[in-house]
Amino acid sequence: MEKTVFEKSRPGRLGVMPPESDCPEANIAELIPEDMRRGEAPPLPELSECDVMRHFVNLSQKNYSVDTHFYPLGSCTMKYNPRRNEKAASLPGFTDIHPLSEDKDAQGSLEVMHELQNALAEITGMDAISLQPAAGAHGEVTSLFTVSRYFHDLGEDRNIIIVPDSSHGTNPASAALAGFKVVTIPSDADGSVDLKALKEAVNEHTACLMLTNPSTLGLFEAHISEICRIIHEAGALMYYDGANMNALMGIARPGDMGFDLVHINLHKTFSTPHGGGGPGSGPVGAKGRLAAYLPGPRAVKAEDGSYRLQRAEKTIGRVKMFWGNFLVIVKALAYIRTLGGAGLKRASQAAVMAANYMRVRLKEAYHLPYDRMCMHEFVLSADRLKKEKHIHALDVAKGLLDRGFHAPTIYFPLIVEEALMIEPTETESLETMDAFIEAMLDIAENESSESLAKAPETLPVTRLDETKAARKPVLQWPQ
């Protein structure tokens, strides 16, 4: 157990000191009105620089990460995070530039943004891209603001968003945040959108269908053209949740399938690190008349070759301060410039090949509810293990941790009982995948619910009491 920084603190111990002012002395106390003055220094921990370093390095060693472990977390695309991208993003010309610098003083940053906008437009088949949203869910709600404004301008009263029951939770949550009503439709026996249910759900109040393709089952929507036709004939729009874009780079484009709006996760498909939960970046793309509504400003190139920030004509406005998660944008562009068009395609091909290899090798020991060619990920069910041996998906996950692997995504999508969603990505070697497969087979064959109940046993803590944490939440160190 690592003590908290508050337990390690000692009164009077000094850490790193900032530079001192060389301006004439000022009576600081007098500059602040008395009833706004803090009486005592804020109760921050007092540590030496060495204490701080050791604390955080020790803590870091209690994590699994892509750099230390295979991390087949479905829907999260935990591919290798190239360090050259980090190096590019740490160049002082990028880190030191103030966001309110004049455009002429920020030509390098603006060119980076412009290049990435162009590349993402080409990869997705969209007409225009805004880099402003900070994450995938942020991109979703941004796109739905766009949908809302678009229909408002058309004078159409459309307040319903349709989502499949296999969708990410962020889809309905974003729709609700953007002021829409949500209608959930079931999936059919193949795990695809149920066309009959879709036709019944669509009407003159439908604004948009939000769809992930490949779906969260890792399956390509075979009827996507038909789905788009149904939605478009009703006067509604198609929204592409780009969480699973890693299957499609250079293979197929949402724009060509009939989608009107997309978001892309730079922190999934384009290799920027997840950082323990963020920062991400969730650029949005739009086709045709919708492009005029994108948030911004965005980078545009003038005839003289210079760049400037400019708002789209009917922009929904700003969804974030400044222009986007710029350093993440640098990293994503570095990735795209490293792979090029052919390299991106090869990455998607390898991701799909790897997922199918693992699917085929695991489908006997585990239940594979949708047994056909998958894209970059697939979903197994532990329902048979549960029935036969009382082993749940959670137990499998914890058993994997003890075997040196991060767990797959569990209990998602909601339509598969005891779901285990596995996404190997293209950057894992065959030996790593084989070792993971062996671990999965070993659990299915040799473990029991009793033996797994204690798992994990080799990590810094055993299973945590989440009920206690939620009943009497302790959310900060007591003061």
CB of 441 to another protein, least distance (A): 14
Establish if 86 lies at the interface with another protein (CB under 8 A). Answer: yes
Site string for another protein, 388-427 (x = CB under 8 A): ---------xx--x----xx-x-xx-------------xx
| Single-letter amino acid, residue 420 | L
Establish if 137 lies at the interface with another protein (CB under 8 A). Answer: yes
Nearer to another protein, 42 or 155 (CB): 42
Establish if 334 lies at the interface with another protein (CB under 8 A). Answer: yes
Establish if 451 lies at the interface with another protein (CB under 8 A). Answer: no
Nearer to another protein, 90 or 449 (CB): 90
Query: Which of 31, 313, 445, 446 touches another protein by CB under 8 A?
Result: 31
Query: Which of 15, 153, 157, 288 touches another protein by CB under 8 A?
Result: 15
Angle at CA of residue 349, ends 343 and 353, nearest 5°:
145
Find, among 263, 298, 243, 278, the residue nearest to 145 by Cα. 263
Establish if 155 lies at the interface with another protein (CB under 8 A). Answer: no
Q: Among all chains, which residue has been given the structure tokens 């997922």?
A: 355
Establish if 216 lies at the interface with another protein (CB under 8 A). Answer: no
Q: Among all chains, which residue has been given the structure tokens 């870091």?
A: 60
Query: Which of 130, 216, 325, 381 touches another protein by CB under 8 A?
Result: 325
Look at residue 144 and give its three-state secondary structure: helix
Q: How many CB atoms lie within 10 A of CB 282?
A: 30
Map the footprint of another protein across residues 456-475, applying CB under 8 A: 456, 459-471, 473-475
Establish if 364 lies at the interface with another protein (CB under 8 A). Answer: no
Look at residue 224 and give its three-state secondary structure: helix
Distance CA 373, CA 369 (A): 12
Distance CA 119, CA 329 (A): 12
On the CB side of 32, CA atoms within 13 Å amount to 8
Nearer to another protein, 345 or 384 (CB): 345
Query: Which of 92, 155, 313, 388 touches another protein by CB under 8 A?
Result: 92
Establish if 52 lies at the interface with another protein (CB under 8 A). Answer: yes
CB of 252 to another protein, least distance (A): 5
Q: How many CB atoms lie within 10 A of CB 386?
A: 18
Look at residue 327 and give its three-state secondary structure: helix
Distance CA 175, CA 210 (A): 9
CB of 185 to another protein, least distance (A): 14
Q: Answer for the pair 152, 179: CB distance below 8 angstroms, yes or no.
A: no
For another protein, how many residues bind (rule: CB under 8 A)? Answer: 216
